[in-house]
Amino acid sequence: MSDNQSLDNQDVLAREDIRKDEFLVYEKPDTLTDTPFHYCPGCGHSTVHKILMEVIDEMGIQGDTIGVAPVGCSVFAYHYLNVDMQQAPHGRACAVATGIKRVRPDKMVFTYQGDGDLAAIGGNETIHAANRGENFTIVFINNGIYGMTGGQMAPTTLEGMLSTTSPYGRDIETMGHPMNMTQIVAGLPGAAYVTRQAVYKPSLTRKAKKALKKAIQVQQKGLGLSLVEIVSNCPSAWKMTPLESHDFIVDKMIPYFPLGDIKVPEEL
């Protein structure tokens, strides 16, 4: 169309003619607000927010859900997730969720935490919530780095991986091994369902979505703690393009943090 032609051309559909239910192929669920995400291009948070909220929408539990946001890139999760939410001090989400679930046991309670939040400062709260078999669901985004604060080393940073506090690469001798926190949690009897997923390609995203649904069902059955780890990326702090970061997940992260169910309750 040339610059001179007006849009009153009858071949062009009006906006209200396009936005009809019969033409609807996909829409954002009600369980996400209209606030644009601030996450970096290619970041896994966006995908996980979406599938988590799609599950809550499909299960019809928006009005019975209380989420706990961490400190980290997803500290603002409460601006995006259209459910009642509490923002917790760094690492304390599992204790905050314990408080919520113990006094409101009929609600679906979840935490959404990064690797520093869950495994470093929050290690004790995470382990003890699992040990007590608290009936809430942890969504654990593991990208092996502290994104929000500028790219420092995390408990799950891989050997040799560069970060602002391991500028010559993670050195096992002085900094220890990358920590498999999910394994530690799975070893506790109170942890009922523990699984590791990824969202860097659609087939895995669909699997991750199913895992989130399963986790919530475990909670609804009162079987104990459910934990869904998502091995994810941080293009910004890893200093990679989004596509390079997906390769890094495949080549480096997943060999150390293999995908799949780690613990599944018999009842499922």
- Please give the residue ranges that form the binding site for another protein (CB under 8 A): 62-66, 68-69, 75-76, 78, 82-89, 92, 95-100, 102-104, 107, 124-125, 127-128
224 neighbors 192 (Cβ within 8 angstroms): yes
Nearer to another protein, 119 or 161 (CB): 119
- Work out how close the CB of 178 gets to another protein at its nearest, in angstroms, rounded to a whole number: 24
Nearer to another protein, 78 or 238 (CB): 78
Find, among 122, 264, 243, 253, the residue nearest to 198 by Cα. Answer: 253
- Work out how close the CB of 225 gets to another protein at its nearest, in angstroms, rounded to a whole number: 14
- Work out how close the CB of 256 gets to another protein at its nearest, in angstroms, rounded to a whole number: 28
- Work out how close the CB of 109 gets to another protein at its nearest, in angstroms, rounded to a whole number: 9
Nearer to another protein, 96 or 118 (CB): 96
CB contact set of 73 (below 8 Å; sequence gap of 6+): 39, 43, 45, 114, 147, 148
- Work out how close the CB of 104 gets to another protein at its nearest, in angstroms, rounded to a whole number: 5
- Work out how close the CB of 135 gets to another protein at its nearest, in angstroms, rounded to a whole number: 13
Nearer to another protein, 41 or 60 (CB): 60
Helix/strand/coil percent split, the chain, to 5: 40, 20, 40
**Which residue(s) pair with 63 in the sheet?**
none
Q: How far apart are CA 44 and CA 51, in angstroms?
A: 11
Residue type, 61: I
Q: Give the number of C-alpha atoms closer than 13 A to the C-alpha of residue 211, restricted to the C-beta side.
A: 28
Nearer to another protein, 123 or 265 (CB): 123
Nearer to another protein, 99 or 265 (CB): 99
82 neighbors 32 (Cβ within 8 angstroms): yes
244 neighbors 169 (Cβ within 8 angstroms): no
- Quote the crossing angle between the two packed helices 202-220 and 44-59, to the nearest 10°: 50
